[in-house]
Amino acid sequence: MKILLVGYGKMGKAIEAIALQRGHEIVGKIGSKNAQDIHLYNASNTDVCIEFSLPELAFSHIQTLLKAGIPTLSGTTGWLQHLPEVERLCQEHKGTFFYASNYSIGVNLFFKVNQFLAQRMKLYPEYKVHLEEIHHTQKKDAPSGTAITLAQDIIKELPDYDMWVNSETNNPKELPIISLRTDEVPGTHYVRYQSAIDTIEISHTAHSRTGFAQGAVLVAEWLPAQKGMCTMNDFLPL
């Protein structure tokens, strides 16, 4: 399979290594120094694009790729205010687009555990929820996309919360997410339910970028046969 990489930082390099191990061809690597080269790629020379760039660049990249007819998956976070426009573009150009806040199989299992726990905690409003996420200092956005997904799933289940905030809060309707940045931490997430009596905690700790990169390559292998907007629920029904 011919794969275009848009974004060639640490994640892009990890994806490249796994893709090559699995027998794929990397037809191009787009970074800050050759950003204009993205226009050289289209459906005739590229089977799929894996986009892990920067929040401020992702939407522009995705627009270009969908107009070029290239099935695209994105793992960039911090740009999702543009997702309705991407859906419109996908329909207009009969394209294929996949977004996940996290491509790790383990994290997606963790999402399901989080949903299960939130559903059960409806009956116990004395427990207050806190989220914490820890990432490497190079991560540009906060909170992480994974933390936002966890928070959104909790808010769907627990009527006490109206929204999440990226700070401590005394407002009982706000779900706090605390973001910490530390050198060389691939990603750690905690969900804590705390009462005066005890604390219930679930967590996920990534030991390297390998799980994220491997998941992205597996989705890339699956994506060209799909049409329209896709999510991890389509790829990995749990």
Match 């090559």 to its residue by tokens.
Answer: 20
Please state the φ and ψ torsions of residue 78, each to the nearest 5 degrees.
90, 10
- Count of C-beta atoms within a 10 Å radius of residue 104: 23
SS3 203: strand
195: Cβ contacts below 8 Å, ≥ 6 apart: 124, 126, 127, 128
Instruction: State how far the alpha carbon of 30 is from the alpha carbons of 80, 84, 172, in Å.
Output: 21, 25, 45
Catalytic amino acids? Answer: 135, 139
Match 């997702």 to its residue by tokens.
Answer: 83
On whether the CB atoms of residues 78 and 210 are closer than 8 A, the answer is no
Residue 68: how many CA atoms within 13 Å on its side-chain side? 23
Q: Can you say whether the dihedral through the CA atoms of 94, 76, 208, 147 is positive or negative?
A: negative
What is the residue-wise DSSP string for 179-198? EEE-TT---EEEEEEE-SS-
For the chain, the distance separating the N- and C-terminal CA atoms, rounded to the nearest angstrom, is 27
